[in-house]
Amino acid sequence: MQVKNAKFLTSAARAEQFLRPEKPMIAVCGKSNAGKSTLINLLAGQKRLAKTSAAPGRTRLVNYFDFGEFWLADLPGYGYAAVSKEEQAKWGKTLEKFFARKEDVAHVFLLSDIRRDPSADDMQMVSFLVYHAMPFTVVATKSDKLSKMKAKERVRAVANAFGLGADNVIPVSGLTGDGKDALLARIAQVIRVNGAAAEEDEGSEEI
The residue that leads in pLDDT, 52 or 165, is 165
Residue 71 lies in a domain: yes
Residue 166 lies in a domain: yes
Residue 206 lies in a domain: no
Q: Give the number of domains in the chain.
A: 1
Give the domain CATH number at 32: 3.40.50.300
Question: What is the percentage of the chain residues whose pLDDT exceeds 70?
Answer: 86
39 pLDDT more than 90: yes
Residue 11 lies in a domain: yes
Residue 34 lies in a domain: yes
In this prediction, residues 149-162 reach a mean pLDDT of 96
Residue 98 lies in a domain: yes
The residue that leads in pLDDT, 87 or 124, is 124
Residue 45 lies in a domain: yes
56 pLDDT more than 60: no
Residue-range definition of the domain harbouring residue 81? 7-201
pTM for the model stands at 0.89
Residue 207 lies in a domain: no
Q: Are strands 7-12 and 62-66 parallel, antiparallel or unpaired?
A: antiparallel
CA atoms within 13 A on the CB side of 202: 6
Distance between CA atoms of residues 108 and 4, nearest Å: 21
pLDDT of residue 108: 97
pLDDT of residue 70: 97
